[in-house]
Structure 1
Amino acid sequence: MPASPGRCQVVDFATIPGVPCPCGLARRAFSDVDEFPGTIHVTEISATAQRHYHRRLTETYYILECAPHATIQLDDEEVSLRPGVCVVIPPGVRHRAVGKMKVLIVVFPKFDPEDEWFD
């Protein structure tokens, strides 16, 4: 992460390498910032995103871009998406984004890859 002014943290997501995840490709920030209790991700959702859940993490998806007719599966419910829609996903909710999209994800507490579970 580049140097930040004072106590504030600044990150350029274009400089963060993407890592594969069940949803597609995630760029994750602020995992190393003690003053921030969560992480921020910019995730490119692929057409093959896997349904999964978290036992401890709450995720908030803010849709930046998405294909027409994109949806998100939340347990047994399917919700239509468009840019500007925001979805809070509490622990235990099985979820999967359907359709290509770019999503800003806020995770509390900090993201832990050991807390990704599949049925």
Structure 2
Amino acid sequence: MPSTPPAQGYEIVDFAQIPGVPCPCGTAKRGLADVSDYPGTIHVTEISTDAKTHYHKRLTETYFFLECGEDAKMELDDEILPVHPGMCIMIRPGTRHRALGKMKIVNIVFPKFDPTDEWFDE
């Protein structure tokens, strides 16, 4: 049976209207989760200073840094890298990661974000 095409050829997400939810990094506003023909989700995330190291078994995340302090860094497995606004890091499944320092990012997640795919070593 053919699927029903969307009523229009685009989707609009107003992140100002999306409530933030707690996540290992801080607070995330998640968009496009309910759009069946979009294969991922897009999050605007406020990273707190106490982000927890975690990884995903299935999800690929791409962090685009919007705002961050001069001392902002990303911990990726055993490596710590400085980051700045305008940078982007793609994080493959299995990579343990966390942000160090306060920052605001856009996180593009494929496939769609699944909160059951957040894993911790503790």
- Shorter-chain-normalised TM-score: which range? over 0.9
AA in 2 matched with 1:41: H
Aligned positions of 1:1-119 closer than 5 A:
6-119=8-121
RMSD: 1.2
How far the C-alpha of 1:50 sits from its partner, in A, is: 0.2
The DSSP-based 3-state class of the residue aligned with 1:114 is: helix
Residue identity over aligned pairs, in percent, reads: 62
How many angstroms apart in 1 are the aligned matches of 2:64 and 2:77? 18
Gap runs ≥5 in structure 1: none
How many angstroms apart in 1 are the aligned matches of 2:8 and 2:119? 38
How many angstroms apart in 2 are the aligned matches of 1:87 and 1:108? 14
Counterpart of 2:4? none
AA in 1 matched with 2:91: I
- Structure 1 runs of 4+ with >2 Å offset: none
AA in 2 matched with 1:55: K
How many angstroms apart in 2 are the aligned matches of 1:67 and 1:27? 21
How many angstroms apart in 1 are the aligned matches of 2:75 and 2:46? 17
Gap runs ≥5 in structure 2: 1-6
The DSSP-based 3-state class of the residue aligned with 1:14 is: helix
Name the TM-score, length of structure 2 as normaliser: 0.92
Name the TM-score, length of structure 1 as normaliser: 0.95
How far the C-alpha of 1:67 sits from its partner, in A, is: 1.1
